[in-house]
Structure 1
Amino acid sequence: MNQGRIWCVVNPTIGLPLFLGSVAIISMLVHHAVLNNTSYMAAFFAGS
Structure 2
Amino acid sequence: MTNGKIWLVVKPTVGVPLFLSAVAISSFLVHLAIVTNTTWLPDYYAGSAKAE
TMscore range, shorter length: over 0.9
RMSD: 0.7
CA distance in structure 2 between the partners assigned to 1:44 and 1:38 by the alignment: 11
- Residue identity over aligned pairs, in percent, reads 54
* TM-superposed deviation, 1:2: 2.5
Q: How many residues align?
A: 48
> Where in structure 1 are there 5+ consecutive unaligned residues?
none
> Where in structure 2 are there 5+ consecutive unaligned residues?
none
* Moved beyond 6 Å, runs of 4+: none
CA distance in structure 2 between the partners assigned to 1:17 and 1:43 by the alignment: 36
Q: Which has the larger radius of gyration?
A: 2
CA distance in structure 1 between the partners assigned to 2:31 and 2:37 by the alignment: 10
CA distance in structure 2 between the partners assigned to 1:42 and 1:11 by the alignment: 43
